[in-house]
Amino acid sequence: MQAAATSESYFQTQLRARASNDAVAAPSGIDHLVNAAAKYLPKPQVTRIRKAYEFAQAAHAGQARFTGHPYITHPLAVASILVEMRLDDKCIIAALLHDVVEDTSATQSAVSRHFGREVGYLVDAVSKLGNIHKSHHEAQAENLQKMIFAMARDIRVVLVKMADRLHNMRTLAVLPHEKRRRIANETLEIYAPLARRLGMHEVMVELEDLSFENLYPLRSACVRRARTKFALNRKFVLKKITDRIAKAVHGANIEAEVFGREKHLYSIYRKMKDRHKSFREIMDVYGLRVIVRSVDDCYRALGVVHGVYKPFTDRFKDYVAIPKSNGYQSLHTTLFGLDSIPIEVQIRTREMDDVASHGVARHTKYTGSGTGSPRESLSERWLQEVLELRKDAKGNHDFVEFFKTYLFPDEVYVFSPDGDIYTLPSGSSPVDFAYAVHTDIGNTCVACRIDRNLAPLNTRLETGQTVNIITAKSASPSPDWLNYVITNKARSSIRQALRANQRSAAIALGTKLLNQSLAHASTHIRNLDFRRLRRVVRGLGFRSVKDLLAAIGRGEHTGYAVANRLLAHKDPDFSAVPVEIDEAVGISQRDHVIISFARCCSPVHGDPIVGHVSHQRGFVVHREGCPNLVEIRKRAADELTPAKWVGMPDQEFQASLKLEAANDSNALSDFASVMRQVGASIKSLKVESDDDEQALIDMEVSVRGLAQLNRLVRRIAAIPSVREVRRAFR
Ligand code: MN
């Protein structure tokens, strides 16, 4: 252990020395940068690049890096990485200025004023990208990559950030241990895969190997040594193979370069670790690359190569016809080599090779000299170029998916207060977010904060926001939410919760109503015979007791009618629904069911009554013998229930009387005096007279109950002019 620790620190010392070496930490002076840029950019742009350098130098004056070099060496190094990629002037300027807003007193508006809004935007976006790591969660590297894209909008933001990271990685070894580990891990998780997605193979390789070296100085040094030794042993055989293939290809009149290629350290290490392979197993293959001049030559060279060594039949890949999602194109084939060691051959054109190394950066070779509209982003150009490249390729869904998801996302990425990232479809609301976090959070959500400010629950979320859902234990979803949630999860959860709430409320009420009715027979639902209960439930067409209780709660059955069925054998007298009236007119206090009186027969308190449940009118009470009952009985005999009056209400009832009387002018005053005597009143009076002799009178009277009505009828009958009086059914 001791020895390992000692050698580890030896390698660390080496790493640190290399990181602070001028060639790595401060590789470029401004003159060198400007000269390199002048090779592909017009003069006015080069002048602006120098101006940007002067601006950055003034802003960073007095600042130094961990390596001991003046701070300006860093933006300069970042800019020269992008010049090597031959990117446009705005990208280079943004690279020179990428740390001024964050780390100096210069403001974004000053940057915009001096170098234009486009550069201002790039600098701002790169600064923001730097901040999202602060809430980065390990398991979400994938999401974070997406987020970087979504926030970037312009691929140049990602390119500047990538170059920034690359230079920071090159000088990483000078940082304290903890910071070094964190940044190296982050690079492996986020930036290297991002570089791969963008087809920037060279950058990816360098980022991975730098991370590997900084995380595991000893292991990486071991792998490097082993690789060097191995290559040395293989040198002679590799040269023999290379020469043989080159000779054959040239012999077929194909202009080509053939050379061996090396695996990078981290890929060897990862294969050993992940696939549990030995170093020898991984290295037991020769890698060759053949660079030709045209697509045609690719296929011709392939034929030649297959003539030199026999190919493995199942190891051939045509990425020329069907490029990889990041635009990579090449022919891959594996041959049986000498001593049965396989030879992996990649055949491609110079342009394809360039793309394979630099990916998106190579597709952005426009010089910013005014081609195309300025609003057209670099990524869109890239998309078009790559689409152009693979015009003939068919049905590569992965490719389409890549652009949809990564460059033009219809998704938003938001943070939870803990820094977890959630991916939601764009247009999502805080309620969608709440349900994405957890169904319970959604169901109890009452309000939300977006970036610490209270916001309405129907706000459209935007990428990068931090959403904090405020919940309350007793809260429940509002039907209103259905108007703006867009995720299926939220929608179905809200519906389910609403249904469940309604149902549980209905069951609770139904249970209460049934128990109240059962209490008349001094019993309780718990005391009922289970088999009988089940029979009644089935008999009424329900599948479970809960379904029946819910139906009672919704007013589809009366508790009393059900109790009646349940107790029929026990208590023969228990056969009528109590119609109890209190001051809140029409509500039976006992059953909490709306009671209404059928207008056809106008029952009054004391009449023998029956009732049935109507969905609109609750429990509708009819007088026994009402002609309409015949119809109702036919329709649903089950629904018709005997009812009985309970208590004496402080309420008046309407009753209809039909009279036949002599057409006597005194009749009206006679009626009036009878009413007074009995204490009733006339509500309406309709007189129809056929002739002078006889009148037919429809009279609506208001009485307190049957006894009073009967008294009234007797008195009316006693009036001399009245021939007949009877209660009417309408
Ligand atoms: Mn930087």
How many angstroms separate the CA atoms of 523 and 526, rounded?
A: 8
pLDDT, average across residues 637-653: 70
- 348-369 per-residue burial string, b: 16 or more CB within 10 A, e: under 16: bbeebbbbbbbbbbbbbebebe
Least confident of 129-138, 283-292, 451-460: 129-138
Q: How far is the CA of 98 from the centre of ligand 1 (A)?
A: 6
pLDDT at position 541 over 70: yes
How many angstroms separate the CA atoms of 528 and 608, rounded?
A: 30
Alpha helices in 275-317 (DSSP H): 279-283, 295-308
How many angstroms separate the CA atoms of 231 and 261, rounded?
A: 10
How many angstroms separate the CA atoms of 546 and 606, rounded?
A: 35
Q: How confident is the model at residue 660 (pLDDT cuts 50, 70, 90)?
A: confident
pLDDT at position 377 over 50: no
The pLDDT of residue 443 is 92
Q: How far is the CA of 74 from the centre of ligand 1 (A)?
A: 7
What mean pLDDT is reported for the chain?
80
pLDDT, average across residues 694-700: 85
Q: How far is the CA of 126 from the centre of ligand 1 (A)?
A: 9
361, 87 Cβ separation under 8 angstroms: yes
Which residue in this structure is represented by tokens 């007279």? 689
Q: How far is the CA of 58 from the centre of ligand 1 (A)?
A: 16
The pLDDT of residue 428 is 92
Type of residue at 518: L
pLDDT at position 136 over 70: no
The pLDDT of residue 577 is 61
Structure-token pair, residue 179: 């910071």
pLDDT at position 1 over 60: no
Number of neighbours of residue 701 by Cβ within 10 angstroms = 26
pLDDT in tens, 678-695: 888 888 888 887 666 778
Type of residue at 404: K
pLDDT in tens, 45-94: 999 999 999 999 999 999 999 888 999 999 999 999 999 888 889 999 99
Is 103 assigned a catalytic role? yes
653, 714 Cβ separation under 8 angstroms: no
Compute CA 405 distance to the chain's CA centroid, rounded to the nearest angstrom: 14
The pLDDT of residue 587 is 42
The pLDDT of residue 401 is 40
How many angstroms separate the CA atoms of 695 and 221, rounded?
A: 122
The pLDDT of residue 581 is 56
pLDDT in tens, 315-372: 788 888 877 766 788 999 999 877 778 899 999 999 889 888 887 776 544 333 333 3
Catalytic residue among 8, 84, 102, 639: 102
The pLDDT of residue 208 is 96
Q: How far is the CA of 99 from the centre of ligand 1 (A)?
A: 5
Nearest to 518 by CA among 567, 555, 577: 567
Is 583 assigned a catalytic role? no
The pTM of the full predicted model, rounded to 2 decimals, is 0.53
The pLDDT of residue 394 is 38
pLDDT, average across residues 223-236: 86
How many angstroms separate the CA atoms of 425 and 429, rounded?
A: 10
Catalytic residue among 8, 84, 103, 582: 103
Least confident of 37-41, 240-244, 671-675: 671-675
Q: How confident is the model at residue 663 (pLDDT cuts 50, 70, 90)?
A: confident
Compute CA 697 distance to the chain's CA centroid, rounded to the nearest angstrom: 72
